[in-house]
Structure 1
Amino acid sequence: MQKLNFPTYSFRFKNSENKISIFDCLRKKFVILQPEEWVRQHCVLYLIQEKKYPKSHINVEKELIVNDLKKRYDIVVFNTDGSIHLIVECKAPTVTINQSTFNQIAQYNQVLNANYLMVTNGINHYYCQMDFENKRFDFLKDIPTYN
């Protein structure tokens, strides 16, 4: 897998039936290593190790209903009161982050109401804070560290 624009982390890998899997520390199981999963696993460790978010506040790959359609978010970070602090949308490194990517995470946020959004393809990262009053998001240099 290609080098991403994240700190270097160590991962556990497994090869089974010529498929490489990576260990997901949140789901506590090996998952097939696809390019998007490579980005997701880096992002999870970035949130835990660099941004100090507790593992217990992070959830990955869960279903949600958006306009009567079943969708799956990549990563969500919860506040202690159960509200959603952050949604992360991960794309493969070869996928260009564009308006449709932001439209996707904005649709998810209509249901989830997160304060912060992050979109990444592992190379480029974009961070936003929601301004619910004016129905827009403001771009940030980074997401806040857990406090």
Structure 2
Amino acid sequence: AMGGDRQALEAACAKSSRTHRSMWVEAPEGASFALLDGSVALVGDAAHSVTPSIGMGANLALESAASLASAVGEALDARAAAARGGTSEDGVAIAAAVQAGLRAYGAKRPGEVRPVQLASAMASRSAMPPRTGPPPVAAARAPQPVTAK
């Protein structure tokens, strides 16, 4: 840390009255976990980070993956049902169905995870002392050259 000087870092931290706080992002109401064009959807911490205080991070990620698969599957099933009317399947129509599934997931899932995020945040806040002073300072190790052996 601090260019490899551990003692300097420890001395600086010992003088600080700052408390380490974890940072997380709560999904705001109305958030989407997919781009509007349906080209990308997010799951896990990329979409809905939670503190480890209630042990739900991996569970939410797995539920989100299942929810995403279900939404895309339902959109593809609806496309297949429409195609039975005599329209042939084509790549553009399938891509549009997948995009519709991603958008459906993106719109629905934030409302499902928000209560867990709020419970997680509440549990963490109740276990942490109130912050005093300015925000914590992050220390990083100076870049080290890469050498071949």
Same fold (TM > 0.5): no
Whichever structure has more strand as a proportion of its residues is 1
Is the radius of gyration larger for structure 1 or structure 2?
2
TM range (shorter): under 0.3
- Given the two structures, how large is their TM-score scaled by the length of structure 1? 0.24
Higher relative contact order (CA 8 A, sep 6+): 2
Whichever structure has more helix as a proportion of its residues is 2
